[in-house]
Amino acid sequence: MKDSNFLKEHNARSLWHPMAHPADSQANPPTIVTGAQGVRITDVDGHEVVDGVGGLWNVNLGFSCQPIKDAIAAQLDQLPYYSIFRGTTNDAVIQLAEELRDFFEPDGLSRAFYTSGGSDSVETALRLARQYHKIRGEAGRVKFLSLKKGYHGTHMGGASVNGNANFRTQYEPLLPGCHHIPAPYTYRNPFDETDPERLAQLCLSALEDEIAFQGAGTIAAMIMEPVLGAGGVIPPHESFMPGVREICSRHGILLIADEVITAFGRTGSWTGSRHWGVQPDLMCTAKAITNGYFPFGAVMIAEHVAETFEKDESGRAAVGHGYTYSGHPVGAAAALACLAETLRLNVPENAAARGAQLHQGLLTLQEKYEVIGDVRGGHGLMCAMELVSDRASKAPIDKKTINTVQEVAYQSGAMVRVSGPNIILSPPLILSSDEADIILAALDAGLSAAG
Ligand SMILES: Cc1ncc(COP(=O)(O)O)c(C=O)c1O
């Protein structure tokens, strides 16, 4: 690797960063991460911090998970790649599908369709949902419903169901027939409702209203995250997802759970759907399926959806969709080792305990700092603070202040993520109590510096 002077001089010069303005990356060069161990990352200057971001919600088992590294190396030696398009397969994907079937059995999901990441999983689920209805003779069911504030990746389909203007406006026109429902976001909502249970009911009524307006027979699926993640960690009331499930079932609409973040333990339950006692028809997974060590994902398919495809005799069920890297054997080997470690470590237990600690710590910081308008969490290791310049009016914070919080927190020992007015925490699920305290102390320093 080139020396640190070279890296700093060329930082952001010849590449564009995702989710960033190219000129901003050049004016404010990103932190160059050069190493990681456990839950800590080290930058090019040798500064080491606790990673409060967990890579990007994906390194659930930390950076030193040797069994996954060994599995990747061994698979590269044995079979580095072969396609699983019609006619060929590989041993790793067969074994993985059986293990995923066992893992997702309580969610009612029994088949896997492999992808190369979260956006691919969303695209796959949207397409399979339309095809499901066509197979059943309801070709008019083509529309999609989703939540405002939802994040579903950045492919054209995913961006179309995405509920945040930042990921939409510059790429419009998007897919027609995608309609958005208010999110159960108590801090800001069109109903001015702060009670989570009442707000959940209002959002469910809005969903019913939209279905009546569109016509149930035109809608293929509703896609939602069990806990809205990238949109600012918005946990709904416990009645919300079961309510969505009931409405979808009543109207023949498939429910797609986008669990790219929440599958494999992050909420303190094994899946977000299980957290709320819901069985979806399709589930999007990626990220922690390989602990972030290999780009990989899987759409999990409910038994009744699978049977509709498998028993079809019309020819409409042939899947005309897939990626060169669907079922990559190295990804599958990584996922097998990752799943075994995830189960062995029983990560939801620690996610719930450390999540409660972080959430409580943020609530304590809110008592101290006026700038913290809202604190959200309480469902595993996903928390957020929404910063405001004025608590009474909830006027959004300015960029400079929130960036100062982030920078000083970094200098004080923790990497945290800024997303709009939110500071988001999604550390590895193996975080210790001391490491959670380091994140909280670093945020305290950052907030204090921001004045
Ligand atoms: C809920 C959800 N869906 C989809 C995606 C897209 O995943 P990827 O970035 O791997 O394409 C993300 C990424 O953060 C996500 O949080």
Query: What are the structural domain ranges in the chain?
Result: 31-61+346-449, 67-344
Tens of pLDDT, residues 122-160: 999 999 999 999 999 999 999 999 999 999 999 999 999
Q: Decide whether any atom of ligand 1 lies within 6 Å of the 111 Cβ.
A: no
Question: Quick check: 428 and 60 in contact, CB under 8 A?
Answer: yes
- Ligand 1 centre to CA of 151 (Å) is 7
- Please indicate whether the domains covering 31-61+346-449 and 67-344 agree at the CATH topology level: no
Query: Average pLDDT of 284-305?
Result: 98
The strand pair at 372-376 and 297-302 is best described as unpaired
Task: Give the number of residues written for the chain.
Answer: 451
Check if 286 has its Cβ closer than 6 Å to any atom of ligand 1: yes
As assigned by CATH, the class of the 67-344 domain is alpha beta
Cβ pair 259, 270 in contact under 8 A: no
Helices (H) and strands (E) in the chain, counts: 15, 16
**Overall pTM > 0.85:** yes
Tell me the per-residue pLDDT of 364-417, one tens digit each, with 9 for 90 and over. 999 999 999 999 999 999 999 999 999 999 999 999 999 999 999 999 999 999
441 in Cβ contact with 416 (< 8 Å): no
- Ligand 1 centroid – CA 282 distance (Å): 15
Residue 284 has pLDDT above 80, yes or no: yes
Question: Ligand 1 centre from 297 Cα, in Å?
Answer: 10
The neighbour count for residue 297, using CB atoms within 10 Å, is 29
DSSP state of 37: E
258 CB within 6 A, ligand 1: yes
In DSSP notation, 44-63 reads TT--EEEESSHHHHT-TT-T
pLDDT band at 451 (very low <50, low <70, confident <90, very high): confident
Query: What architecture does CATH give domain 31-61+346-449?
Result: Alpha-Beta Complex (3.90)
